[in-house]
């Protein structure tokens, strides 16, 4: 029986964001934008979707006169990511048999 | 990156690529190695020449002046750097604790050796070797790993010479163990920031 894939994570950009956040304590908007090669608009939308799902925590502050957005993965996000990886592995392993 | 249906292999590739990107994020740019390296070399040579020239100046004055210049410079640099880079890796935290632990152990070691009327330099070199070697393994920097080994060997070499000459070994070890790896890390970080 295949485990269903988490629709929130099964998107190229959202999966890339979560995978990056797994490896760091926190990341700012600029870092995520650079590493995912995404546009600011698209990144903002996907961050909001992940935040609404409870997978990431977004903190908005100011750096001088400029807004600063920092993100970190939540425990719920970490669990969802682990389940997603397990599900993907089971699909691939079944396909290889 | 666009919204599109992912195959399972593509999903796995994204995960692997992004985790590797975050893991290989190099934050050590060599600044502190260069700063403290220069200060240690100046302080070592200054104490050596004060001892040899018999100027009547307190020989260990240079070691009192060194942190008075180094600590504020390092703190101002880190404060300014943290204002521009808000991404924090887990490695960065461990790295900070490594050098904090090193700093505390250094103070304790110097106090013990001075109270026991022993030269602190061999102990300091062994300790610096440890912190530099571990830093090298954390950031996969071969020059720092070699630097750590040079510090350890220099600590042993100090046992063969009298204390004033240990200062010259200290300066030479710092040049090869701190300054050279520091410059290489600095050049590497500048090259990466322009990619």
Q: Could you read off the pLDDT of B17-49 as tens digits, one per residue?
A: 888 777 767 677 899 999 999 999 999 999 999
CA distances from B102 to A76, B35, B114, B124 (A): 36, 17, 18, 10
User: How big is the CA angle at B127 (ends B126 and B131), to the nearest 5 degrees?
Assistant: 120
How close does chain A come to B4, measured CA to CA in Å? 7
Minimal Cβ distance to B15: which of A19, A25, A37: A19
Q: In whole angstroms, give the CA distance from residue A82 to residue A68.
A: 29
Does the beta-carbon distance from B19 to A19 stay under 8 Å? yes
Q: Could you read off the pLDDT of B156-175 as tens digits, one per residue?
A: 999 999 989 999 999 999 99
Give residue B105's pLDDT: 96
Say if residues A47 and A56 touch (Cβ distance below 8 Å). yes
Does the beta-carbon distance from B88 to A25 stay under 8 Å? yes
Minimal Cβ distance to A12: which of B3, B85, B86: B3
DSSP B160: G
Query: Looking at beta carbons, which residues of chain B come within 8 Å of A38?
Result: 1
B108 touches chain A (CB under 8 A): no
Residue B195 in this model has a pLDDT that exceeds 70: no
> Which has the minimum average pLDDT: A3-17, A68-82, B1-15, B116-130?
B1-15
Q: Look over chain B and give the mean of its residue pLDDT values, rounded to a whole number.
A: 88
How close does chain B come to A75, measured CA to CA in Å? 16
Give residue B26's pLDDT: 66
Q: What is the ipTM of this complex?
A: 0.81
Percent of chain B with pLDDT over 70: 93
Residue B113 in this model has a pLDDT that exceeds 50: yes
Is B28 strand, coil or helix?
Answer: coil
Does the beta-carbon distance from B11 to A10 stay under 8 Å? yes
The residues, ordered by sequence, that sit 6+ positions from A25 with a Cβ below 8 Å of its Cβ are A72, B88, B89, B90, B92, B93
Greater confidence (B54 vs B144) lies with B144
> CA nearest A8 in B: which residue?
B3
B6 touches chain A (CB under 8 A): yes
How close does chain A come to B14, measured CA to CA in Å? 6
Say if residues A35 and B21 touch (Cβ distance below 8 Å). yes
B13 touches chain A (CB under 8 A): no
Q: In whole angstroms, give the CA distance from residue B154 to residue B120.
A: 13
Minimal Cβ distance to A12: which of B4, B8, B90: B4
Contact map slice: B 63-92 vs A, CB within 8 A:
83, 85-90, 92
Percent of chain B with pLDDT over 90: 58
Does the beta-carbon distance from A38 to B19 stay under 8 Å? no
Chain-centroid distance, C-alpha A86: 16
Per-residue pLDDT of chain A (97 residues; tens, 9 = 90+): 567 789 999 999 999 999 999 988 889 998 899 889 999 999 999 999 999 999 999 998 877 777 889 999 999 999 999 999 988 888 877 765 5
A35 touches chain B (CB under 8 A): yes
Domains of chain A, each with CATH number or no CATH = 12-96 (1.10.10.10)
């Amino acid at each position: 029986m295949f485990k269903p894939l988490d629709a929130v994570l099964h998107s190229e950009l959202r999966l890339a964001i979560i995978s990056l956040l797994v490896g760091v304590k926190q990341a700012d908007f600029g870092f995520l934008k650079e590493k995912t090669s995404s546009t600011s608009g698209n990144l903002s939308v996907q961050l909001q979707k992940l935040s609404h799902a409870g997978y990431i925590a977004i903190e908005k502050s100011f750096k001088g006169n400029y807004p600063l957005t920092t993100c970190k993965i939540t425990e719920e996000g970490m669990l969802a990511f682990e389940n997603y990886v397990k599900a993907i592995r089971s699909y691939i392993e079944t396909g290889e048999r | 990156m666009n919204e599109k249906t992912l195959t399972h292999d593509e999903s796995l590739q994204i995960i692997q690529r992004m985790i590797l990107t975050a893991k290989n994020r190099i934050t050590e740019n060599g600044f502190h190695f260069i700063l403290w390296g220069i200060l240690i070399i100046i302080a070592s040579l200054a104490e050596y020449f004060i001892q040899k020239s018999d100027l009547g100046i307190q020989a260990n004055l240079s070691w009192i002046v060194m942190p008075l210049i180094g600590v504020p410079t390092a703190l101002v640099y880190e404060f300014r750097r943290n204002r521009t880079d808000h991404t924090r890796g887990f490695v960065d935290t461990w790295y900070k604790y490594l050098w904090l632990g090193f700093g505390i152990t250094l103070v304790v070691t110097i106090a013990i050796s001075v109270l026991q009327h022993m030269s602190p330099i061999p102990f300091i070199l062994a300790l610096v070797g440890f912190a530099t070697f571990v830093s090298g393994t954390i950031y996969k920097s071969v020059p720092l790993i070699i630097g750590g080994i040079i510090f350890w060997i220099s600590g042993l070499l100090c046992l063969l010479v009298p204390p004033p000459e240990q200062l010259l070994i200290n300066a030479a070890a710092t040049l090869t163990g701190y300054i050279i790896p520091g410059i290489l890390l600095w050049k590497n970080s500048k090259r990466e920031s322009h990619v």
